[in-house]
Amino acid sequence: MWRRVLYKCHVLRNCVTLECRRTLLSEAYACRDVWQQRLQSPVLQQFDASELAVKLSEKFEKEGKTSAVDMDILANKLDSIDTVQLDFVQSIFYKYRHTNECLEMPDSTPYALIRCLLEMGETDRILQMLQDKINYGIFLDNFTANLLLDHFIENNMYQEGAAVAYDLMLQEDFSHPISRALAWYACHLHWKNNPPSAEPPAEPEEDDEKQIWIRVSFIENPWYDDHFDLDRDSLKLGKTFVSVARGNSDLIGRSYQLIGWALYEKFESGLTLLRDCVKSGSVPAVTQEAIDQFRESLEAVQTKEPPEEKKDPGLVTMEDVKPYYTADQKAKLLEEFQELSNQLAATNGAVAQESLEEALREQACAAIRSGEARDVEAQRALLLQWDEDRQERLQSEMERMRKLQKKASIEQRLQELKAREERLRFFEQEDKIHLSISQLPRMRPIEDVKEEEQFVGTPGERGKGF
């Protein structure tokens, strides 16, 4: 299978060097012809992106909402907007997310938003919106995930590629073979080139003088879910390794599961994996770099002792409910790990010395060779179907607006006819009007007015209680 080849030209003094870099996905995967064809549809041609963004902002100010098809059109026309307006457009998507109409957002909207921003080079903005699901509600599908992963891998943006893999891990969706292979490879490149630190982030110093106590109706106990609450890159990377390698019982799968359990700081699970390797006698069982990573993570893990006194409910923080290891537990884990690693080392060929980077790359290429043609066909059909759906939704929205305008016009006309009828029939209905007035309850007349003296205090005494 042919692959795209990117060339970089470097000028050094009087010499020109040419660097060749091969990408993983082929040029056909992006379906650029069908993707650009969407701009020729009558729906998108009748709108200017900048003017549409201004009108939608004004509509939010007046009505507090807009239709899903309007946002879909804006997303598909986003690449024609100047980059200085992207913050303004992003605020529109923020407002849209906080309306009921966002429940009707079609799959074509996040797809178009991500692709347009990717073509504009706004990868930081993509990651920001992806990681803020509450305020933007943007989710990856298999196609956009693969395009992002391939872009980050080919441009040596390993941390960004791992961030995309983390998003798939948090959604617990590695069902697509290409997405799984690319995410696995991106995480490996991030692990090798940007080793995550095992040290927890520094906590801000507490200042007792600035503490403010507020009376509340109830106390919400902190809860650590060990998934969305993962706050360190090493923990996210480790759990992603475990997720992508789960189900692989070969050398690659076992090695990256061990690396994952180490970075995820679930050392009991890692030791269980090593015990199974020793018991099964598999040759080779794991790689040396997996053993080294497990030892490094176990030796670097922070320990703490259980608190002597239980904290009051109002003083319990997230740090108090996170799992931890005591010094005695760490010592026992190190002892068992040393024993298991010695047993594996004593078995000839149980510990492989080679790096698995080439094997992972070949695994990704094999997944692409197997499923790329199917993905291209499905993506082309989906893009064409989205164009038809957009046209139908726009016609439906225009018909709905016409009905609303007609209804408002009819109601206004009825009010005008009613007022005119009252004026024309006033003399015919004069007796009834006088009769209705006479039947109104009569107010009791004031028969007697009594004057009472009222004490008024001096200016200095006014306002004082007695």
Element containing residue 286 per DSSP (H, E):
strand 286-287
Cα four-point dihedral sign 376, 379, 384, 387: negative
Q: Is 15 in contact with 9 (CB distance < 8 Å)?
A: no
Residue owning tokens 């989710």: 139
Residue-wise burial string across 305-343, b where 16 or more C-beta atoms lie within 10 A, e elsewhere: eeeeeeeeeeeeeeeeeeebbeeeebeebeeebeebbee
- Distance between CA 78 and CA 216 in Å, rounded? 45
Give the other-Cβ count within 10 Å of 50's Cβ: 15
At residue 461, the pLDDT reads 57
Cα four-point dihedral sign 385, 113, 379, 167: negative
Distance of CA 61 to the CA centre of its chain: 26
Residue owning tokens 């994996």: 273
Residue owning tokens 């992806």: 130
At residue 203, the pLDDT reads 59
Element containing residue 385 per DSSP (H, E):
helix 357-424
Kind of pairing between the strands at 286-287 and 351-352: parallel
Largest Cα–Cα distance of the chain, in whole Å?
Answer: 118
- 273 CB contacts (<8 Å, ≥6 apart)? 254, 257, 258, 261
- Distance between CA 221 and CA 213 in Å, rounded? 16
Q: Is 140 in contact with 169 (CB distance < 8 Å)?
A: no
93-148 per-position pLDDT tens digit: 999 999 999 999 999 999 999 999 999 999 999 999 999 999 999 999 999 999 99
Distance of CA 166 to the CA centre of its chain: 10
- Distance between CA 76 and CA 113 in Å, rounded? 7
pLDDT tens track, the chain, 466 positions:
334 444 444 333 344 333 334 579 999 999 999 999 999 988 898 899 999 999 999 999 999 999 999 999 999 999 999 999 999 999 999 999 999 999 999 999 999 999 999 999 999 999 999 999 999 999 999 999 999 999 999 999 999 999 999 999 999 999 999 999 999 999 999 999 988 765 555 555 655 567 777 787 887 888 899 999 999 999 999 999 999 999 888 999 999 999 999 999 999 999 999 999 999 887 889 999 999 999 999 999 999 998 888 888 778 888 888 999 999 999 999 999 999 999 999 888 889 988 889 999 999 999 999 999 999 999 999 999 999 999 998 888 878 878 888 888 888 888 888 888 777 776 667 777 777 777 777 777 766 666 666 666 666 555 554 4
Residue ranges covered by each domain of the chain: 247-305+321-355
Distances (CA, A) of 420 to 432, 433, 434, 435: 18, 17, 20, 22
- Distance between CA 307 and CA 316 in Å, rounded? 12
Give the pair of three-digit tokens for residue 344.
């594996």
Residue type, 120: M
